[in-house]
Structure 1
Amino acid sequence: MLKRVFQALSGARPGEQLPVLLSFMALLCLLLSYYLVKPLRDSMFLSYYQASDLAYMAIVVTVSSLVVIKFFNHWVGRIPRYRLMSITYAVMMICKLLFLLILPISGRWGTVVFYLWASVYFTLVLSILWGVINTIFSARQAERSFGFVALGATLGNISGAKLSAWLAGSAFKDWALLLSIGAMSAALGLILLAVQIASRDPETARKQSGTAALHVSRGMQDIVSLFGNGYVRGIALMVFTLALISMAVQFQAYGQIDRNTAATVYGEEFAWFDPPGQHFEVIYGLKKLDAAAQQARLKALGRSGNLPTAQIQELSQSFGRYQKQFESRTRKVLSDVYAYQGLLGVFLLVVVARFLFRFVGLRYTVLILPAFYALAAMVLMFPLEIALIQVLLVIGGALNYSLNNATKELLYTPTSEAVRFQLKPLIEGPVMRLGDVTASLLQIGISTALALWLALTEMSQGRLLLALGLLFIAAWMLAIWATGRRYDQAQQADPPRQELDLHA
């Protein structure tokens, strides 16, 4: 009875069900581990820096990601892939343990290092996990079950975000990294068990026996291969443009979340000193300064208001409470957004995904997310309430992390192991980060040189960035349509092709 219910829910046939369930659970644990880290990363960064500084961080993250992925690719083909996966996961868990010890005493520099690491490590470990899952299942098996498998990632998103939000307001707020280590180790154990069980399946064995051996990457061969064929290039362009337009939207949203949260907390902590809120800009701008400069500015503010020494000290204490409350509330706001993204993602994967994969085809399914972002970009060109902006973030994030992610992973199933274990980390890491940095450079250029030259308002700057994003979305839709059509043609062949000839 339970097996029939699970088959109806997951699409997995007898013999596939346990690997499908284990893959689902591995993704759930890995995403749970990440969504304990992500809100902490963002809230800590916004506690010390302005939201506009994210544009500069994206540049450093891109370079760091390329270095890490190139180092990883050096070992692909030299170390057995599952051993390499285990080593990579172990190193990342050790890093989390080190940050658990360092962050409370490191201040601004530790926050920057943590932000860089947290922005790079997850794309690598998630890409490795999906690469293994792509190897376990054939394209036909994936069409039946990847909606359910990807549901594990969405539920991990929800669970991690909810747990992070609870931790932010509890006495256990410093446990996030420790719990993340436990969830990540569980993900590793589950996927290795899935590999062992799936190796007994004849269809998996046929797929692996027909797969070319991994070659050792030398120099820039992997990057040349990435752009050497249209199929993989289409996936890369999708990932690049998605990162670019997501970052453009994030610049708008995070700026408003940052400022509105700061204004609310300021009104609570400084009401005794400044009921009208006329000194808010001074307090809000203190995050740009180091601790000594902050205290000097607070003393100067107190003296300008003719406060006695005791109240100047109280002003400093209020600022300390303001910082802590700002970080906790920002983390909760972001955690709630991620949680609602997950809830909508569950609906998309359970109700929508399998129907689209089997009856509509990937050539149309891959167009849903770029079409939404094109609409969102046009809507965001007009002044909106922050609640509506958050709705756009929830819908865009849900489409991205659930339906679009499952669709993207389906596109990888008929590719070679070289694509899944060497080119895929490049696409999910440096190429994605290149989209971030392109958006960042456009934002910096628009907000500095062009804004001064053309005297653009802040709203006009945002409109120009989103208009440029629409051009990239058009290229994304054209390229991914061709890739999706090629996938559909391969699966409609008789018999379906297990591995595409990417040079044809």
Structure 2
Amino acid sequence: MINQIISKSTKIKPDEFRAVILSFAFILSILASYYIIRAVRDGLASDWTDTELSTVWTVTFFISFLVVSFYSYICSKVNFKYLVPGIYGFFSLTFFCAYALLKINPESELIRQAFYIWVSVFSLLNISVFWSFMADIFNKEQAKRLFGFIAAGSSLGAIIGPVITLIFVERVGSETLILVSSSMLFIPLTIAVLLGKATASKETSDQGTNDAAMGGHFWDGFTEFLKPPILKNLLFGIGMFIVIYTGMSTFVYFAIKNILTDIDQDSRTQIWAFIDLAVNILAVFTAMFGTARLTKRFGLTVTLPLVPSIIVLGMLILAISPILWVVVGLQVVRRAGEYSITKPAREMLFTTLDREARFKGKSVIDVVVYRAGDIIWAWIFTGLTQVLGLTLGGVAAIGSAVAVVWAYLGFRLGKHFDAE
């Protein structure tokens, strides 16, 4: 009965139900694990100055570059059926080691900063690996129907993780939560093995065999991303789409931070908590019941530029009325739209690529390019406000122009996908 209700409301076919539910549980568990450990990570940052934190962010970018290069090398050498389970097993082991080191020497700034950096790398790579795996399992037609529902698992995980933290942090302490997060990663490890044994059928056979490594070199992900002709390179186009997305994220985040300057700490916490709750509730229902219908009816030509187009309007409203609840509303719509519509639609693009591009090239985009975008836009925002002296309204006006480019790029990427 439950299977029939879910299948009817979410466009899942009976023979896909098991794989979809496993995929839903997969991303739910990795997001819950991450959100538990993220709270511990972010708590450490309050002990550092702005300069120290900026330095940590910069180091994170270079570490991300090295990790993605090593990951690409592993993709080339490791039997594919061991690759995805091995990634989550590896991160589980490293978090257990971090727990042990912090218990032995909790005051070491080197260990604390290394932990912060490693969690930041994990936050992007683990999601990238998951969606690479999904694009390898499901074909293009299935992705349009199923990725929205699967993505709803990430929003549920983003709710469950903080709830676990709130319930247990005073009882067991922050360090023990690292151990909880580490243990939870055995759930996606197990699911990856199950999905690897019985995956949904694909129309094409470009995913290759699970009983061999991909081959190639550690730099293949970077060469895939920069392969000429660059203007016709889908990976490069997706990368630029993400760079502009990080710009919108940075602009709105900094805007909220600056508006909250004169508000007391407890009120700030309440506002951020309200944003997280509103985002995840809205994202869950949109992803489960709206995204598949949107992509099936209008295609990615409409779906991908939809949220960027809304952000154009939101930025213009913010430019005219730069007040707290306008920017909070913009943040809720932006994040919920990203999690429930834009991200699953963006991940559908990878179903048209081969396995090497999905795993090697995608990790470059999701981790290295993403972190580079963070740094670039943070300094651009700082330059606009601190050097040029622009107000929030002026920055929002510039942001709206950038969002127009974002929407156009989404339209072009969506048109390419629909034409395939």
Q: TM-score, normalised by structure 2?
A: 0.87
Separation of aligned partners in 2, 1:101 and 1:432:
30
Gap runs ≥5 in structure 2: none
Separation of aligned partners in 1, 2:119 and 2:5:
38
| Partner in structure 2 of residue 91 of structure 1 | 90
- The change in CA–CA distance for 1:190 and 1:9 in structure 2 (over 3 A counts) is farther
Is 2:248 the counterpart of 1:242?
no
Secondary structure of the residue aligned to 1:106 is coil
| Partner in structure 2 of residue 474 of structure 1 | 404
Separation of aligned partners in 1, 2:252 and 2:204:
44
- The change in CA–CA distance for 1:416 and 1:151 in structure 2 (over 3 A counts) is same
Is 2:177 the counterpart of 1:176?
yes
Separation of aligned partners in 1, 2:173 and 2:38:
14
- The change in CA–CA distance for 1:40 and 1:374 in structure 2 (over 3 A counts) is farther
Residue 178 of structure 1: how far off its partner (Å) = 2.2
**1:329-369 Cα distance to aligned partner (Å, 9 max, x none):** 84x76455323211010121123211111001101110122
- The change in CA–CA distance for 1:37 and 1:465 in structure 2 (over 3 A counts) is farther
Separation of aligned partners in 1, 2:125 and 2:352:
21
| Partner in structure 1 of residue 142 of structure 2 | 141
Separation of aligned partners in 2, 1:33 and 1:429:
19
Gap runs ≥5 in structure 1: 266-328, 491-504
Retained in 2: the 8 A contact 1:24–1:149?
A: yes
What are the within-5 Å matches in structure 2 for residues 275-314 of structure 1?
A: none
| Partner in structure 2 of residue 49 of structure 1 | 49
Separation of aligned partners in 1, 2:258 and 2:42:
12
Secondary structure of the residue aligned to 2:207 is helix
Which of these residues, 307, 329, 333, is aligned with residue 391 of structure 1? 329
Which residue type is aligned with residue 192 of structure 2?
I
- The change in CA–CA distance for 1:159 and 1:333 in structure 2 (over 3 A counts) is farther
**1:383-423 Cα distance to aligned partner (Å, 9 max, x none):** 65545433332221111122111111111112111111110
| RMSD of aligned Cα (Å) | 2.9
- The change in CA–CA distance for 1:113 and 1:334 in structure 2 (over 3 A counts) is farther
Which residue type is aligned with residue 118 of structure 1?
V
Which residue type is aligned with residue 193 of structure 1?
L
Separation of aligned partners in 2, 1:87 and 1:393:
35
Greater C-alpha Rg: 1
Retained in 1: the 8 A contact 2:95–2:182?
A: yes
- The change in CA–CA distance for 1:245 and 1:54 in structure 2 (over 3 A counts) is farther
Retained in 2: the 8 A contact 1:55–1:441?
A: no
| Partner in structure 2 of residue 320 of structure 1 | none
| Partner in structure 2 of residue 423 of structure 1 | 361
Count of residues paired in the alignment: 412
Separation of aligned partners in 2, 1:119 and 1:462:
28
Which of these residues, 309, 317, 332, is aligned with residue 371 of structure 1? 309
| Partner in structure 2 of residue 4 of structure 1 | 4
Separation of aligned partners in 1, 2:252 and 2:6:
38
Which residue type is aligned with residue 99 of structure 2?
L
- The change in CA–CA distance for 1:339 and 1:103 in structure 2 (over 3 A counts) is farther
Secondary structure of the residue aligned to 1:39 is helix
**1:44-103 Cα distance to aligned partner (Å, 9 max, x none):** 3134334x8755544332222112111211222211233233332222112222333444
Separation of aligned partners in 2, 1:151 and 1:374:
25
Retained in 2: the 8 A contact 1:157–1:339?
A: no
Q: TM-score, normalised by structure 1?
A: 0.74
- The change in CA–CA distance for 1:488 and 1:27 in structure 2 (over 3 A counts) is same
Retained in 2: the 8 A contact 1:146–1:410?
A: yes
Separation of aligned partners in 1, 2:218 and 2:91:
25
Separation of aligned partners in 2, 1:17 and 1:234:
32
Which of these residues, 282, 285, 291, is aligned with residue 353 of structure 1? 291
Which residue type is aligned with residue 77 of structure 2?
R
Separation of aligned partners in 2, 1:37 and 1:366:
31
What are the within-5 Å matches in structure 2 for residues 152-171 of structure 1?
A: 152-167=153-168, 170-171=170-171
Retained in 2: the 8 A contact 1:12–1:144?
A: yes
Retained in 2: the 8 A contact 1:46–1:258?
A: no
| Partner in structure 2 of residue 342 of structure 1 | 280
Separation of aligned partners in 1, 2:324 and 2:46:
18
Residue 35 of structure 1: how far off its partner (Å) = 1.2
Separation of aligned partners in 2, 1:161 and 1:258:
25
